[in-house]
Amino acid sequence: MNTKPVAIITGASRGIGRAISLSLASEGYDIVAIARTPDSEGMHSLQPEVEKRGSAFFPIGIDIANTSLHDEAISSILERYGRIDLLVNNAGVAPIERKDLLDLTEEDFDRVTDVNLRGPVFFAKKVAREMIWMREQAKNYRPAIMFVTSFLAHASFAHMIEVCISKAGLSMASLVFADRLSEEGIKVFEIRPGIIETEMTHRGKDKFDKLIAEGVVPQKRWGTPEDVARAIASLARGDWEFSTGSVFDVSGGLNIRSF
C-alpha cells in the first residue's frame, strides 16, 4: 500500500481542478487527475508540475457522467496505490448555449445535470464504500470527500437554469453525504466558489467585470482558481476537523446578503 495519501481530483486538466491538483501535491498528496481526455495539453503540462512537487501523477480519462466507467477507474487507482484518502468532485460544465428558461430543452438539461450532479453523486458513493473498507487497512487514515459547487447553488440565473439546479442538488448531496458518512469517520465539505476567472466564465467577462465594478463582489475583484485551491488545501490538512457538513464560500463576499 502507498504510504503517501492519495487525492482524486475530477476536472483536473484546467482551471480550478488544475490549481487544486498542484495545491494538494504541495501538501504531500499523490495525485489522480481525472479528465475526459487524459492526453490533452492540459494534462500533459500538469504532470511535470505535480512531479516537481515530489508527488506521483496518475491521469485517468473518463467522462464522470458515464457511471458505467466508475468501477474501472476506482479499481485502477486501488491497484496502483492501494488507497484513496481524498476525493475532490470538481468536474462541471456550463450549457453549450445560454438559453432562456422557457427555451430549455431536455437534452441541455440532461447534459449539464449528468456531469454536474448525477456523475459526482454516484462516483462519491463508490469512493465512500472503498474509504470505509480502507479505515482498517491504512495507518493515520483521514478520509474526506469534497464537492465543489458554485454561488449559483443559491442564486437564480434564468439563462443557466441547468447549472443552478445541478449545483443546488450537489450542495444538498454534500450535506446528505456528510450526515451519513460522519458515523464512518469520513468528513465531507462543500466548497462554493463565486465568480472565478476560468475558461468557463470567460464568455461572460464583460458582464462580470461590470458587476464586480458595481460592487456585487464586496472584495471587488475576480476570484482565482488558486483562491479555491487554498481553501481545499486547508481542509485537506485537517485544519477544520470539527466542521464536517460545512459550506466554505470562496466568493469575496458574494454570499453576503446586504440591504
* Contacts (Cβ under 8 Å, ≥6 apart) of 47: 57, 59
Ordered by start, the domain boundaries in the chain are: 6-250
pLDDT interval class at 140 (50, 70, 90): confident
Q: Per residue in 215-251, pLDDT tens?
A: 999 999 999 999 999 999 999 999 999 999 999 999 9
Query: What is the predicted pLDDT for the residue at 231?
Result: 98
Which residue shows C-alpha cell 449559483?
152
Average pLDDT over residues 158-179: 96
Listed range (28-42, 46-60, 164-178) with the worst mean pLDDT: 28-42
Specify the 3-state DSSP secondary structure of 52. helix
Residue type for position 130: E
Pairing between strand 57-61 and 30-35? parallel
Query: What is the predicted pLDDT for the residue at 68?
Result: 98
Please provide the average confidence, as pLDDT, over all residues in the chain. 95
Cβ 24 vs Cβ 86: under 8 Å: yes
Strand-pairing partners, residue 232, are none
Query: What is the predicted pLDDT for the residue at 242?
Result: 98
Average pLDDT over residues 99-109: 93
Alpha carbon distance 212, 206 (integer Å): 10
Could you count the other beta carbons within 10 Å of the beta carbon of residue 258? 7
Query: What is the predicted pLDDT for the residue at 32?
Result: 98
pLDDT interval class at 202 (50, 70, 90): confident
Cβ 235 vs Cβ 146: under 8 Å: yes
For residue 190, give the nearest of 215, 217, 172, 210 by alpha carbon: 172
Cβ 35 vs Cβ 66: under 8 Å: no
pLDDT interval class at 84 (50, 70, 90): very high
Q: What is the C-alpha R_g of the chain?
A: 18
Average pLDDT over residues 56-67: 97
pLDDT interval class at 204 (50, 70, 90): confident
* Contacts (Cβ under 8 Å, ≥6 apart) of 43: 12, 13, 33, 35, 37, 59
Cβ 22 vs Cβ 49: under 8 Å: yes
Pairing between strand 187-193 and 247-250? parallel
With a cut of 90, say whether residue 168 has pLDDT above it: yes
Query: What is the predicted pLDDT for the residue at 257?
Result: 84
Output DSSP code: residue 116: I
* Contacts (Cβ under 8 Å, ≥6 apart) of 121: 170, 173
With a cut of 80, say whether residue 158 has pLDDT above it: yes
Q: Which cell goes with 111?
A: 447534459
Q: What percent of the chain has pLDDT over 70?
A: 100
Burial 221-231 (b: 16+ CB within 10 A, else e): ebbbbbbbbeb
pLDDT interval class at 29 (50, 70, 90): very high
Cβ 170 vs Cβ 149: under 8 Å: yes
With a cut of 80, say whether residue 104 has pLDDT above it: yes
Query: What is the predicted pLDDT for the residue at 200?
Result: 77
User: What angle in degrees, to the nearest 10, is found between the helix axes of 106-113 and 161-181?
Assistant: 40
Average pLDDT over residues 247-257: 95
- CATH superfamily of the domain spanning 6-250: NAD(P)-binding Rossmann-like Domain (3.40.50.720)
The model's pTM: 0.96
